[in-house]
Amino acid sequence: MLSEKGAPDGENHGPRFAERAPDALNNPQLRRNFRRAMDGLMAKRAAQFPDPAYWAELRERGAAVKARALAKLPELLERLEAKLTANGVQVHWAETTEEANAIVLGILQRAGARTVIKGKSMVSEEMHLNAHLERHGIEAVESDLGEYIIQLAGETPSHIVMPCIHKNKDEISDLFAEKIPGLERTGDVDELTAAARRVLRERFANADAGISGVNFAVAETGTLVLIENEGNGRLSTTLPPLHIAVTGIEKVVEFLDDIPPLLALLPRSATGQPITTYVNMISGPRKVGEKDGPTAVHLVLLDAGRSRVYQDVELADTLRCIRCAACMNHCPVYTRVGGHTYNAIYPGPIGKILTPQLQGLDAAGDQPHASTLCNACAEVCPVKIPIPDLLVRLRREAVRPTETPATHLPVVKDGGAERSWNEALVWAGWRLVYTRPLLYRMVTRALAWGGNWVPAGAPLMRDWTKARAKPRFKPRTLHDLARERGYLNEVPK
Amino acid sequence: MTTTNLAAMHTGAATPAARPDTVYFFGTCLVDMLYPEAGLAGMDLLRHAGVRVVFPEGQSCCGQPARNSGYFEEAREVARAQLDAFPGDIPIVVPSGSCAGMMKTHYPHLFEGDPDQPRAIAFAARVHELTAFLVNVLGVKLEDKGEPVTVTWHPSCHSMREMGVVEEPKALLRQLANVTLVENKRERECCGFGGTFAVRQTAVSTAMVSDKLASVRETGAGTLLSGDCGCLMNIGGHAEKVGDGTRCRHIAEFLMERCHAQ
């Protein structure tokens, strides 16, 4: 499944993170929306895990479940396929998002489907599935309220769990009044929700097919687990005669018994709920004698660069992700700039490690640098993904790529894309000075004497002093002071 | 056993069982050049607590700037110079949670596949953040001789999340009779420095430090204390730039001045 073109090319080209950030930072409404939302989510999550020992034990179990599944990934995927097939679910494999789109389109066309109702799915965002279907005359309507709102607005999700979190009530009121025929502008949340419900109920009833994502795919039983709060996931997967689920290959877990710890972690980490309103466990199409459910169920398993991530033992931890978004909810960078600044399907800390691996370091090599490495993400990750370490690893791959021994390809697509001779020279010089105590003392003394004459407009200093005073070198270094005060240089024998 | 001791055990820090008579001091490169008085105060605090302090002249930098930029080879060679400079089997005390975190949590991985890895692992085990060492290992008792003052605390991200140091510096401040410690509601949020982040992502970094200073101002404390000079250079530098009068100081200097002023 390894491929150079595992993901749509060049998707992330265009202005880089640092150039896009000021737009968001200069939008006070957007910053208030995110700050308020993230503060709320952090507080709700914290309330779900009052006991640090319980949290530590639970996330250990969650991490272990996902790590074990990944360790046996090829085998589990085969078992999943066999079990699903036995259950009457048709399984399809897609190496690229283009292939996945073609598969979904083919299924819909063969069924003569013209309208699709969709449950929330980040993989379908990765595929740009709606646009693909539209180009072929099939209308897909998002049924998750947040997704529905951004579809009306012609936008992309700014958060993987709460896709329209960047909008406040007033903005949604305006949008609904403009886009929903016959709706008077209202600021009442219940009325707004009711309006969306009226539109969507009709869509559910008339859709030729439903498309959804998958939270966990159980190899042991061939069960597709889908959690949600609005009931739209259940309607999308049970009301239309045809259900197509799309998911990444990393969503497989081994046993049904692996689900409880993950369910105990995911909603609490995501929205601070003890459990979601709906937990759907889909085990196949309608059976003879059953009165409801789709008559055909398909699962499309997408690679799109994931098997390449899987090749590296350290980077493979990325695939443990259960898409709870706790990392972005707790990220001081995400909170300030919001999801759209990342210009990627997956924003925030998880996106900063996932996007460069799926799309390559040429397209997204700047993303791992959009972090202070504050570790807030790692602290709350329910499956213990060492995000800061992987950010640093990707920074390294961007300047000093390592190779996969078997293929001689860079471990990460476009490894070395951020290489710069200037930067390499700076670090070579740094190493020269900092490994030679005598030279180091000469250089630091020279800086103590003349460092403050470095002009504020010098490289690096220019960016630093935009918002801060120049750091001041002191006339005597700590080395000098320690010696003057009689501190020993070595342990006496 | 007190909660601070439990916290120390949780992060693998040494238990107070063995009180060393001699310790190494790793000053950090930032302190060496820009905040030497903070480093000296840290050493003086240890001396006042009754331990002999050794400051090896061969020391330079923990290597974190290169490692975090992806230049692992350069970081490893500079780290190796530190392994050489601190040969004795005694604690290494660091007046920075961030540099301590680099040495304690990242050296073992940095030396993966290197013949010096066992030495790096042994070195990492000897590393202590200054305030945690004063509280958990030395059990220092401080006597406040200063005027009444209100302060607030800024924990560095790495002191909290890599070194597990949360309560120790506050415990030291609470020993001081005339010091009122007020809590910053956004204490746990990063100040936005992040090494090269501050110059690569100037706009986001500026927004973060500006929010941080605003949260400090909201506490009403005129003085901000921290155990990390990187954060102080950022927050203090921003305060100076915007004409904010908040004093930003390293906790070691503050403690020395109040308890052992000549």
Average pLDDT per 10 consecutive residues for chain A, totaling 493 residues: 35 75 96 96 98 97 98 98 98 98 98 98 98 98 98 97 95 96 93 96 96 98 97 97 98 98 98 97 94 96 96 96 98 98 97 97 96 98 98 97 88 95 96 98 96 90 95 97 96 88
Q: What confidence score (pLDDT) does residue A407 get?
A: 82
Do the Cβ atoms of A336 and B238 come within 8 Å? no
Q: What confidence score (pLDDT) does residue A149 get?
A: 98
DSSP for residue A436: -
- Specify burial of residue A423 (Cβ count, 10 A radius: 0-12, 13-18, 19+): middle
Do the Cβ atoms of A25 and B204 come within 8 Å? yes
Q: Where would I find the beta strands (DSSP E) of B41-156?
A: 52-54, 92-94, 127-129, 149-154
Contacts of B203 in chain A (CB under 8 A): 18, 21-22, 25
What's the average model confidence in pLDDT over B82-101?
98
A-to-B residue pairs, Cβ atoms closer than 8 angstroms: 216
Strands A223-228 and A216-218: antiparallel
Phi-psi sector, B52: left (phi>0), alpha (psi -120 to 50), beta: beta
Contacts of B54 in chain A (CB under 8 A): 487-491
Answer yes or no: are the C-beta atoms of A325 and A348 closer than 8 Å.
yes
CA distance B56 to chain A (A): 4
Amino acid making up residue A343: N
Give the integer Cα–Cα distance in Å for B11 and A350.
25
pLDDT digits (tens, 9 = 90+) for B238-262: 999 999 999 999 999 999 999 998 6
Give the integer Cα–Cα distance in Å for B163 and B158.
6
Alpha carbon dihedral B243, B246, B252, B253, in 10-degree steps, equals 70
Got the DSSP string for A295-312?
SEEEEEEE-TTHHHHHTS
Task: Starting at the earlier edge strand, list the strands of the sheet with B22-25.
Answer: B52-54, B22-25, B92-94, B127-129
Distance of alpha carbon B62 from the chain centroid: 13
Cα nearest neighbour of B71 on chain A: A396
Answer yes or no: are the C-beta atoms of B59 and B254 closer than 8 Å.
no
Of B6 and B184, the one with more pLDDT: B184
Strand partners, A228: A278
Distance of alpha carbon A238 from the chain centroid: 28
DSSP for residue A410: B
Q: What confidence score (pLDDT) does residue A459 get?
A: 86
Q: What confidence score (pLDDT) does residue B6 get?
A: 40
Give the integer Cα–Cα distance in Å for B53 and A487.
7
Contacts of A397 in chain B (CB under 8 A): 70
Contacts of B161 in chain A (CB under 8 A): 374-376, 378-379
Strand partners, A223: A218
Which residue, among B102, B204, B209, B250, would best test binding to A if mutated, counting the most A CBs under 10 Å from its CB? Answer: B204
What's the average model confidence in pLDDT over B1-6?
38
Q: What confidence score (pLDDT) does residue B17 get?
A: 53
Contacts of B25 in chain A (CB under 8 A): 482, 487
Answer yes or no: are the C-beta atoms of B32 and B244 closer than 8 Å.
no
Do the Cβ atoms of B204 and A374 come within 8 Å? no
Contacts of B163 in chain A (CB under 8 A): none
Do the Cβ atoms of B237 and A370 come within 8 Å? no
Give the integer Cα–Cα distance in Å for A380 and A363.
28
CA distance A273 to chain B (A): 23
Q: What confidence score (pLDDT) does residue A14 get?
A: 62
**Model confidence at B103: pLDDT above 80:** yes
Contacts of A431 in chain B (CB under 8 A): 66, 74, 77-78
Confidence of residue B14 (pLDDT cuts 50, 70, 90): very low
Task: Give every CB contact of residue B35 below 8 A, 6+ residues apart in sequence.
Answer: A474, B229, B232, B233, B250
Task: Give the angle A48-A51-A56 at the CA atoms, nearest 5°.
Answer: 95
Q: Chain B contact for A484, CB < 8 A?
A: no
CA distance B177 to chain A (A): 29
Average pLDDT, chain B: 94
Q: Chain B contact for A313, CB < 8 A?
A: no
What's the average model confidence in pLDDT over B82-88?
98
The string over A199-212, giving b where at least 16 C-beta atoms fall within 10 Å of a residue's C-beta and e elsewhere, is: bbeebbeebbbbbb
